[in-house]
Amino acid sequence: MLIDAIVIGSGFGGITSAALLAKAGYDVLTLEAASELGGCASKFDRAGYRFSAGATVGMGFEEGGMLKKLFEELGAPLPPMKKLDEIMNVYLPDRTITYFSEKEKWYKEVAYKFDSDQDRVFSFFEEVFKVSKILQIFVEKRNIFPPSTVSEYFQLLKSMNVKLLGLAPYLTQSVQDRLSKYGLTENKPFMTFINGQLLDSVQTTATFCPSLLGYMALSIFHKGAFYVAGGLASIIHALAESYRASGGELRLRHKVVSIAKQGEVWTVMTKRGQVFRTKQVIMNAPIHNVFSLLEPELHQNLVIKEQKEREKDAWGAFTLYIGAEPSFMMKETSSIPFHQFISSYDSPLSEGNQFLFSMSQEGDTKFAPPGKRSITISTHTNVEKWWERERYENIKEEYTEKIIDSIDKKFSSFSSKIDVKMAGTPVTFKRYTQRAYGKVGGFIPSGKYSFLKSYSPNSGVEGLWFCGDTVFPGAGSLGSSLSGWIVADAIKGKHPEGDM
C-alpha cells in the first residue's frame, strides 16, 4: 500500500504537518520512536507529578497568533491556557526585572530598572516593535526560505512589499550593531538582560544574532506569552487528537532506522523491521540525524552537506525536574510561572550561570497534587563533555548543586521544600528524543548573515521534507510548528489533486 505521506516524529513540527495534511484529506502515517508524543515539548510522569521535558513558555496563541490560527484552521479547540501579564522575573546579580507583556507597563519597568539609560532603551525597543511588526507580514506568508526552486523564488518575490524592502539594511546587521547605534553596549546589566533573553529564544547573544531574528524574539513576549494548563504537551496532544479525528494514524515506539528511495517511491523502515511505502516523507527528526537515516546514495542530492552540518554548532540542555511545596516563594512571586536566574555578569550565560525555572501554577492538577508544584529548570550546555563516561555522574551532581545553590540564594528555604528531584542531560535528550548527541534548540546563529544560511524545509530531493527547529524559521515551538505548516502547504500544492 502506498501511503500519501509519512511523518517521522511527533514534535511540534511533525504533528503540525501531520494534522494539517490529515485534515486536508491525505492518508498520513506518523511514526514516533518514543512512548510519548512531543519530543522536546513532551512530558513525563513520576511520583505523582507531571514534568515538562523541555519547553514550557507558550507563545503564538494570541488573536492572530500563528498557533491560534493553526487551531482555527484545524477546527480544533485550544487547550485551557492563561495569557500572562507578568510573564517572567529575571534575577540579575543586582536587580530583578519583571517582564510585563503590556508595553506601557514594560516601559515603566525599564525606566525604573535601567534608569540611567531609559531614553536609549525606549528608543531601542520602539525600533524592535516597529521592525518586528513589518517582519510579521513576511512570516505570515509561510514562504519556503531560503528559496531554491523557481516557484519558491517567485512566491518569495510576490510577498515582498515596500515596507519589507525597507528592512534590507537590517539584513547586514547584528543585534549588537543596533545596540551600539543606541549607545547601549556599555550598559552591562541591560546587555546581560538582552543576551539572556536572546539565548533562551534564538540560542545566541547579541554579537552573533542577526538583527531581524533577534528583533522578532525580543518582541514576542509583547504579543503574548501563555501558561498552558498541563504544559506545552497539552498543545501537542490536542494537535494529535485533531490528527486522529481526521483519520491520521499514529504509532508510538516506532523508531525509523532507514529511509530509501526507489523511483518515485520512498521506503521507510523501522527498528522492528516494518517497511512502509510513501510518496512524501516528512522528517521531523533534526537535521543532525539526517545523514544516519537517509541511504548514502541520496546524500549528494541534498541541499545540506554533511561536513557543513557537522561544523554548525548547537547547544545541549541540562535540566532539573523538581516536585516541591511552593512556600519558599511569596504568593505574588509564585503566581509568575517563569523565572530566569543569572548569577554572574562576568561568566557566559550557560552551564548553570543562566537558567530558566518554570513552575506549574496553583490549581493545575494535571501537573502536581494539590499544594505542590512541578518545576522544570533548564540551562544551556555544551554537549561534548556529557559523552565522557567517567565524568558524567560528577558533572551531573556539580550542575545540580550549582543550580540549587543559586535558587537557595534567592529563596532560602527552596531545597528544604523539595519532594522529588531528577536531572536530565544531553544523554537523556538523545535517549528520549533521538536528537544526535543530545543537541537541542536548533542551530546557533553564527553571525549577522546566518539568517540567510538557514536550512530550507525543502531537502532538494523530490518528496523529502524537513520540519522542526533545525530548519527555517527555526528555534522554539512556534518556529518548529510553522516549519511543519510550510511543509504541509508545499505538499498540498504538489499533490496531484492539488488542494483537496
Ligand X SMILES: Cc1cc2nc3c(=O)[nH]c(=O)nc-3n(C[C@H](O)[C@H](O)[C@H](O)COP(=O)(O)OP(=O)(O)OC[C@H]3O[C@@H](n4cnc5c(N)ncnc54)[C@H](O)[C@@H]3O)c2cc1C
Residue 196 within binding range of ligand X, rule CB under 6 A: no
Stretch of 36-44, 79-87, 208-216, 273-281 contacting ligand X, by CB under 6 A: 36-44
Residue 478 within binding range of ligand X, rule CB under 6 A: yes
Residue 250 within binding range of ligand X, rule CB under 6 A: no
Q: Give the nearer residue to ligand X in terms of CB position, either 343 or 480.
A: 480
Amino acid at the residue 125: F
Per residue, what are the HEC states of 99-150?
EECCHHHHHHHHHHHCHHHHHHHHHHHHHHHHHHHHHHHHHHCCCCCCCCCH
| Nearest distance in Å: CB 172, ligand X | 27
Taking CB under 6 A as the criterion, which residues in 279-338 touch ligand X?
Answer: 284-286, 289, 293, 317, 319
In the list 40, 97, 383, 490, the residue contacting ligand X (rule: CB under 6 A) is 40
| Nearest distance in Å: CB 379, ligand X | 8
In the list 280, 340, 428, 477, the residue contacting ligand X (rule: CB under 6 A) is 477
Residue 434 within binding range of ligand X, rule CB under 6 A: yes
| Nearest distance in Å: CB 157, ligand X | 28
By CB atoms closer than 10 A (0-12, 13-18, 19+), residue 177 is middle
Binding mask 346-385 for ligand X (x = CB under 6 A): --------------------------------x-------
Residue 69 within binding range of ligand X, rule CB under 6 A: no
Residue 476 within binding range of ligand X, rule CB under 6 A: yes
Angle at 286 between CA 56 and CA 476, to 5 degrees: 25
Q: Give the nearer residue to ligand X in terms of CB position, either 378 or 450.
A: 378
In the list 54, 214, 323, 457, the residue contacting ligand X (rule: CB under 6 A) is 54
| Nearest distance in Å: CB 11, ligand X | 2
Stretch of 5-13, 237-245, 345-353, 402-410 contacting ligand X, by CB under 6 A: 5-13
| Nearest distance in Å: CB 50, ligand X | 16
Binding mask 9-28 for ligand X (x = CB under 6 A): xxxxxx--------------
Q: Give the nearer residue to ligand X in terms of CB position, either 39 or 352.
A: 39
Per residue, what are the HEC states of the chain?
CEEEEEEECCCHHHHHHHHHHHHCCCCEEEECCCCCCCHHHCEEEECCEEEECCCCCEECCCCCCHHHHHHHHHCCCCCCEEECCEEEEEEECCEEEEEECCHHHHHHHHHHHCHHHHHHHHHHHHHHHHHHHHHHHHHHCCCCCCCCCHHHHHHHHHCCCHHHHCCHHHHHCEHHHHHHHCCCCCCHHHHHHHHHHHHHHHCCCCCCCEHHHHHHHHHHHHHCEEEECCCCHHHHHHHHHHHHHCCCEEECCCCEEEEEEECCEEEEEECCCCEEEEEEEEECCCHHHHHHHECHHHHHHCCCCHHHHHHCCEEEEEEEEEEECHHHCCHHHHCCCEEEEECCCCCCCCCCCEEEEEECCCCCCCCCCCCCEEEEEEEEECCHHHHCHHHHHHHHHHHHHHHHHHHHHHCCCHHHHEEEEEEECHHHHHHHHCCHHHCEEEECCCCCCHHHHCCCCECCCCCEEECCCCCCCCCHHHHHHHHHHHHHHHHHHHCCCCCC
Residue 33 within binding range of ligand X, rule CB under 6 A: yes
Q: Give the nearer residue to ligand X in terms of CB position, either 187 or 477.
A: 477
Residue 61 within binding range of ligand X, rule CB under 6 A: no
Stretch of 2-10, 110-118, 219-227, 366-374 contacting ligand X, by CB under 6 A: 2-10
Residue 195 within binding range of ligand X, rule CB under 6 A: no
Binding mask 260-289 for ligand X (x = CB under 6 A): ------------------------xxx--x
In the list 110, 256, 304, 368, the residue contacting ligand X (rule: CB under 6 A) is 256
Taking CB under 6 A as the criterion, which residues in 81-120 touch ligand X?
Answer: none
Residue 467's nearest CA partner among 489, 492, 484, 450 is: 484
Q: Which residues of 76-103 are buried (b: 16+ CB within 10 A; e: fewer)?
A: bebbebeebebbbbbbbeeeebbbbbee
In the list 244, 255, 410, 494, the residue contacting ligand X (rule: CB under 6 A) is 255
Q: Give the nearer residue to ligand X in terms of CB position, either 54 or 352.
A: 54
Stretch of 21-29, 120-128, 142-150, 471-479 contacting ligand X, by CB under 6 A: 471-479
Stretch of 83-91, 220-228, 469-477, 490-498 contacting ligand X, by CB under 6 A: 469-477
Q: Residues binding ligand X: what is the number (CB under 6 A)?
A: 41
In the list 3, 18, 20, 56, the residue contacting ligand X (rule: CB under 6 A) is 56
Residues near ligand X (CB under 6 A) are 8-14, 31-34, 39-41, 54-57, 59, 255-256, 284-286, 289, 293, 317, 319, 378, 433-435, 440-441, 468-469, 475-478, 480
